[in-house]
Chains A and B, each alone.
Chain A
């Protein structure tokens, strides 16, 4: 990774911008604030990892960016098209083949059969699943399913200036597969130039993947600290220490 963080050059130079975004569930006394006044800017082609323990509103934040939920206060601005989303589980449709799963978003977008097939083939090639298009999800391993899900997510985006939202997509995989898929994701990210917001609770994963790591506190989720990853090894320990402090602060007195 070669990138160093530069200050934003122009005001519109962002893929997604959150301005003082809050999200509260419920009303009155039982109301729970999941996300509290979060400011976050992700530049085009940037890879940002959101890191936090459980209950930090990571997934809520992702849902807010993805438009699956509306903020209670604040503003979410996107310069990209509809963001693509990847979940912890592959969530492939089991009655469709791998290729049909990738084609479905294209079909819903109104592409004709031929264009769909070509694009799906290209995307399956991108995640190194050439020749696997006819397999059904149950005939694939967990890692392969997650790659099909990545191809499907990419099929939801337009080619340039895309945004990919990933909600702990590798946390259910075994260590070896996770390691390979992290490398795979970085390669795909470089090749496609999409911006990525990647939610995880794994510090090493965040540091390996992200150009920037954003630490969130829990209940309510707030931005605690940010690191730009420039390849130094100490950063993992540094983030770990801070994460432990944040978690410890939640001990019920």
Chain B
């Protein structure tokens, strides 16, 4: 066979460079305006439509005022809370509880999830239990929490933990399960030990599933917290959004109830949109995934 000449090599190089140019995936430059229109407009339109329907229903007076207050009355209720500064107190009490509860849940759930994912007997023993707990409404734990811990913050954190830990642990387990098997072999052949393989290959590979679990865990801690605050009310506990809801019910003040529901909704969604969505998006984008986000 002829020896590999310099001309031949240059030829190869040119062909290869041409192939690279032809076959590299092309990314279209992002169109900011189109993105804004496509992303922000639909939910805004939906909100406006819902608001209009509400206004129309109220104007038609199908239900008495104490059952369906006017949108303006609910808005006025929120504005009053903002003016008096009380809203800061409600939000602070609930949000700081949710954040602490969520943080503790993460600390508990991560080792638990890793244990379930990596130790088969543990998975067989408590895997189904953890999945089952996830479908148990956490409000069911409120009576037990109150009886065990009294009307204290501990009872509330207990409920939040039982709500959030299973979904975070499950997210981590499915993240680990979804690691392509080839990555285990990659870890071996590039010279990773068991420990460095976990640090450099397996944990990063499980990150998308883990993040999805975190996002769901946040949603679960927030709704568990509201359930706990709504039922476990006492002067010592301070007034969170759940207690505002409770007060609205006691006072038969529907506009207060609706204002509280709106606040609960917007805090929950707001934290997801402000924190978890961008985090998830940047992780998935870096891997060439998540076109829909």
B236 in the interface, Cβ–Cβ < 8 Å? no
A125 close to chain B: CB less than 8 A: no
Tell me the B152-181 residues at the A interface (CB within 8 Å): 180
A105 CB–B CB distance under 8 Å: yes
**Residue B12 is within 8 A (CB to CB) of chain A in the complex:** yes
**Closest CB in chain B relative to A94 CB, distance in Å:** 4
Q: Does A193 contact B (CB under 8 A)?
A: no
Q: Which residues of A contact B286 (CB under 8 A)?
A: 94-95, 136
For residue A132, which residue of chain B has the nearest CB?
Answer: B20
B190's nearest neighbour on chain A, judged by CB, is A105
- Bound complex: CA A138 to CA B186 (Å): 18
Q: Residues of A contacting B288 with CB < 8 Å?
A: 94, 136-139
Query: Are B183 and A183 within 8 A (Cβ)?
Result: no
B183 proximity list for chain A (CB < 8 A): 91, 93
A152-B190, A187-B12 are known contacts. Are A177 and B200 too (CB-CB below 8 A)?
no
| B191 contacts A82, C-beta separation under 8 Å | yes
B25 to A108, Cβ gap below 8 A?
Answer: no
Nearest CB of A to B212, in Å: 15
Which residues of chain A are within 8 angstroms of B4 by Cβ–Cβ distance?
Answer: 186-187, 190
For chain B, give the interface size range.
Answer: 35 or more
Q: How many of A's residues come within 8 Å of B, CB to CB?
A: 41
- A242 CB, min distance to chain B CBs, angstroms: 22
Bits for A60-91, please: 1 = Cβ < 8 Å to B, else 0: 00000010100000000000001011010101
Contacting residues, chain A, for B16 (C-beta < 8 A) = 128, 180, 184
How distant is the Cα of A142 from the Cα of B25 in the complex, in angstroms?
10
B21-46 contact mask (Cβ, 8 Å, vs A): 1 or 0: 00111010000000000000000000
Q: Report if A143 contacts B (CB, 8 A).
A: yes
Q: Is the pair A95, B204 in contact by a Cβ cutoff of 8 Å?
A: yes
Interface string of A154-187 (1 = CB under 8 A from B): 0110000000000000000000110010011011
CB of B184, distance to nearest CB on chain A (Å): 10
* Chain B residue contacts of A139, Cβ below 8 A: 24-25, 27, 288
The answer to whether A104 and B190 have CB atoms under 8 Å apart is yes
Whether A115 is near chain B, meaning CB under 8 Å from some CB there, is no
Mark out the residues of chain B between 263 and 293 whose CB falls within 8 Å of any chain A CB in the assembled complex.
Answer: 283, 286-289
Cα distance A138–B284 in the bound complex, in angstroms: 11
Interface presence of B115 (CB below 8 A): no
Query: Which A residues between 126 and 162 are near B, CB-CB below 8 angstroms?
Result: 128, 136-144, 152-153, 155-156
B interface, over-half SS = helix
B19 contacts chain A at the CB level, 8 A cutoff: yes
The reply to whether B189 and A156 form a contact with Cβ atoms under 8 Å apart is: yes
Asked whether A143 lies within 8 Å of B190 as measured between CB atoms, the reply is no
Q: How far is the CA of A243 from the CA of B65 in the complex (A)?
A: 87
Q: Which of B182, B185, B190 contacts A108 (CB 8 A)?
A: B190
CB pair B189 A84 closer than 8 Å: yes
Q: How far is the CA of A176 from the CA of B286 in the complex (A)?
A: 29
Known interface pairs A2-B3, A105-B190. Does A138 touch B19 (Cβ–Cβ under 8 Å)? no
Q: For residue A183, which residues in chain B have a CB less than 8 angstroms away from its CB?
A: 12
Which residues of B31-72 have CB atoms within 8 Å of chain A's CB atoms?
none
Check A1 for interface membership: any CB of B closer than 8 A.
yes
Closest Cβ of chain B to A177, distance in Å, is 6
Residue of A nearest to B11 (CB): A183
- Contacts of A138 on B, CB cut-off 8 Å? 25, 287-289
Closest Cβ of chain B to A179, distance in Å, is 9
**Does B188 lie at the interface of the complex (its beta carbon under 8 Å from any beta carbon of A)?**
yes
B129 at the interface (CB under 8 A from A): no
Contact B186 A180 (CB under 8 A): no
Closest residue on chain A to residue B204 by CB atoms: A95
Name the interface residues of A188-233: CB closer than 8 Å to any CB of B. 190, 231
Judge if A40 is at the interface, Cβ distance under 8 Å: no
Q: Is B9 an interface residue (CB 8 A)?
A: yes
Indicate whether B93 reaches chain A with its CB closer than 8 angstroms: no
A109 within 8 A of B: yes
Least CB separation from B188: chain A residue: A68
Q: A66-B189, A94-B288 are in contact. List 6 more A-B contacts (CB 8 A).
A: A82-B191, A84-B189, A95-B286, A139-B27, A142-B23, A143-B23
13 pairs, CB–CB < 8 Å, chain A vs chain B: A2-B1, A68-B189, A93-B201, A105-B190, A136-B286, A139-B25, A141-B25, A142-B23, A156-B190, A180-B12, A180-B15, A180-B16, A231-B1
